[in-house]
């Protein structure tokens, strides 16, 4: 996510960070580089002009705080302006008050409306809402079947009437059905087109008038850059949008749409899709996103991901095992599975400040491949072998290697690492961290 623009900002900040004194000359140089980085990222040129103007004005007019260096002060100004550009604060959903709350999804064909309907439904369901999704796209072949299949997978009801071809009537019937059956939120998955046309807009405007949705969200493909921004302008002019959902943000190296859409439409980005799974959907937070774009990481999101996958009871049991030195290969496997649930290693590293793009760093692709190999090796062991690795002799190692599609050398390396880790944990549990810090590391 935002890899290209993050690298450019990282380079700019690296140069300015060591500056002893900010002058109009070095500020102007940094501003030129920022302008170029934003334009190359496909950010709207008017947005770029305003952004660099604000940064320059504040940099030349603001006194440097005594506790930070001039370079750090400049970086903070850029960060603050980036947060403002992205919306300033997280924008919530308007789903309180009238029940059921109507949420209308709009957008061009291929932007990901149906997938977003499922992700949003799952997000709201996790928050305790009873959700109904509505198959209101009568144009695209199999759109109805796709939504029903998605609803079945994530456990959310879908309202669909095959005999009715009028999307307005479908939405009105869905609202009545939801009110009669105690649904809190109704998500309307409407039709799209390959491009904005009057027929599409007329249909959407008619649906809006018929059901009066509290939320009208545009679903836009972030990777389409300024095309997404232009579409947002046209949809907003016709529907008066309440917000935007950006899809495929995990594959967006440039960030042009994310950085332009709020400034151009004056409508907040409310959610972003960051992967293919139904859980890969997060509320858009300008502060966190500014940190990611500027290469400053996003520790809060990292912690939240960890909390989602870590079972508190299991964590307590693991802590007791570690204190007793009873950490088995099964426990080791559980930790690997937890890491995989959090996403790719590259994505996780990108959330840690200073870890992205480190020279001479670990090859993350190879690291992920190694995790898969370790998982396969442990899965090829018997329960007794996982509980007590000391019984794994030469013949057992050959069998495990064959079963996991690896080499005996791979099995040996895993067992050696595991033994080393157990020794280190035993030292920590007995002597505390001091025993490690004295240089008594067992490897």
Between residues 394 and 292, which one has the greater pLDDT?
A: 394
Q: What is the pLDDT of residues 9-35, one digit of tens each?
A: 888 888 887 676 777 888 888 899 999
Q: What is the CATH number of domain 101-285?
A: 3.40.50.300
Taking residues 107-135, report their average pLDDT: 94
* Start-to-end C-alpha separation, the chain: 36
From 189, 179, 174, 216, select the one nearest 99 (Cα to Cα).
179
Q: Which CATH number fits domain 3-85: 1.10.274.10, 3.40.50.300, 1.20.120.140, 2.60.40.1120?
A: 1.20.120.140
CA atoms of 251 and 258, how far apart (whole Å): 12
On the question of pLDDT at 426 being above 60, the answer is yes
Residue 218 φ then ψ, to 5°: -90, 130
CA atoms of 413 and 417, how far apart (whole Å): 6
Q: Which CATH number fits domain 313-437: 1.10.150.130, 3.30.565.10, 1.10.260.30, 2.40.37.10?
A: 1.10.260.30
Taking residues 131-144, report their average pLDDT: 91
Taking residues 363-372, report their average pLDDT: 70
Taking residues 310-314, report their average pLDDT: 63
Q: Domain segments of the chain: what residues?
A: 3-85, 101-285, 313-437
pLDDT given at position 68: 56
CA atoms of 120 and 129, how far apart (whole Å): 11
On the question of pLDDT at 123 being above 80, the answer is yes
Helix (H) or strand (E) holding 300, with range, is helix 299-309
Of the candidate ranges 59-73, 135-149, 206-220, the one whose mean pLDDT is the lowest: 59-73
Between residues 298 and 190, which one has the greater pLDDT?
A: 190
Taking residues 332-357, report their average pLDDT: 61
Sorting pLDDT into bands at 50, 70 and 90, what band is 387? confident
Q: At what angle do helices 113-126 and 143-154 cross, to 10 degrees?
A: 20
Peptide bond into 211 cis (omega under 30): no
**Which structure tokens are listed for 404?**
């996991």
Instruction: Tell me the CA distances in angstroms from 385 to 109, 290, 426, one per residue in order.
Output: 53, 48, 20
Q: What is the DSSP annotation of 233-297? A: HHHHHHH--SEEEEE-GGG-SS-HHHHHHHHHH---EEEEE-SSSTT-EEE--HHHHHHHHTT--
Do the beta carbons of residue 265 and residue 244 sit within 8 Å? Answer: yes
On the question of pLDDT at 433 being above 50, the answer is no
Domains 101-285 and 313-437 share a fold: no
DSSP state of 8: H
On the question of pLDDT at 240 being above 90, the answer is yes
Of the candidate ranges 245-249, 260-264, 338-342, 353-357, the one whose mean pLDDT is the lowest: 353-357
Dihedral angle sign, alpha carbons of residues 248, 249, 255, 259: positive
pLDDT given at position 398: 94
pLDDT given at position 236: 94
CA atoms of 398 and 366, how far apart (whole Å): 24
pLDDT-above-70 percentage for the chain: 79
Cα Dmax for the chain:
76
Between residues 340 and 404, which one has the greater pLDDT?
A: 404
Q: Is the pTM of this model over 0.85?
A: no
pLDDT given at position 298: 47
On the question of pLDDT at 337 being above 90, the answer is no
Q: What is the pLDDT of residues 298-308, one digit of tens each?
A: 444 544 555 55
Taking residues 354-376, report their average pLDDT: 64
CA atoms of 312 and 43, how far apart (whole Å): 43
């Amino acid at each position: 996510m935002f890899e290209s623009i993050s690298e450019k900002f990282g380079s700019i900040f690296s140069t300015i960070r060591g500056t002893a004194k900010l002058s109009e000359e070095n500020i102007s140089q940094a501003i030129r580089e920022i302008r170029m980085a934003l334009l190359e990222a496909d950010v709207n040129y008017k947005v770029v002009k305003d952004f660099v103007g604000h940064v320059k004005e504040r940099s030349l007019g603001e006194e440097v705080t005594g506790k930070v260096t001039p370079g750090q002060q400049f970086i903070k100004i850029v960060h603050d302006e980036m947060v403002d550009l992205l919306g300033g604060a997280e924008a919530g959903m308007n789903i309180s008050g009238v029940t059921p709350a109507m949420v209308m999804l709009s957008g061009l064909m291929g932007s990901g409306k149906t997938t977003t309907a499922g992700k949003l439904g799952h997000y709201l369901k996790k928050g305790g809402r009873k959700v109904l999704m509505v198959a209101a796209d009568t144009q695209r072949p199999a759109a109805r079947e796709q939504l029903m299949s998605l609803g079945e997978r994530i456990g959310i009801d879908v309202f669909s009437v095959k005999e009715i071809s009028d999307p307005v009537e479908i939405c009105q019937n869905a609202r009545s059905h939801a009110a009669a059956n105690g649904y809190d939120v109704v998500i309307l998955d409407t039709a799209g087109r390959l491009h904005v046309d009057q027929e599409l807009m007329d249909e959407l405007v008619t649906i809006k008038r018929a059901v009066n949705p509290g939320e009208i969200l545009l679903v836009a493909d972030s990777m389409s850059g300024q095309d997404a921004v232009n579409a947002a302008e046209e949809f907003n002019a016709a529907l008066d949008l309440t917000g935007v959902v950006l899809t495929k943000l995990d594959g967006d190296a440039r960030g042009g749409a994310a950085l332009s859409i709020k400034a151009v439409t004056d409508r907040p980005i409310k959610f972003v899709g960051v992967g293919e799974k139904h859980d890969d959907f997060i509320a858009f937070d300008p502060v966190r996103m500014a940190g990611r774009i500027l290469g400053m990481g996003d520790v809060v999101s990292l912690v939240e991901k960890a909390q989602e996958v870590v079972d508190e009871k299991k964590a307590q049991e693991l802590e007791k095992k570690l204190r007793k030195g009873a950490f088995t290969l099964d426990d080791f496997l559980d930790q690997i599975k937890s890491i995989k649930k959090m996403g790719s290693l590259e994505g996780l590293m990108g959330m840690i400040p200073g870890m992205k793009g480190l020279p001479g760093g670990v090859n993350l692709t190879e690291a992920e491949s190694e995790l898969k190999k370790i998982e396969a090796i442990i899965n090829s062991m018997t329960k007794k072998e996982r509980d007590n690795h000391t019984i794994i002799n030469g013949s057992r190692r050959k069998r495990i290697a064959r079963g996991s599609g690896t080499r005996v050398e791979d099995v040996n390396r895993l067992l050696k690492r595991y033994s080393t880790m157990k020794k280190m944990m035993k030292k920590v549990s007995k002597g505390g961290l001091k025993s490690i810090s004295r240089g008594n590391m067992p490897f």
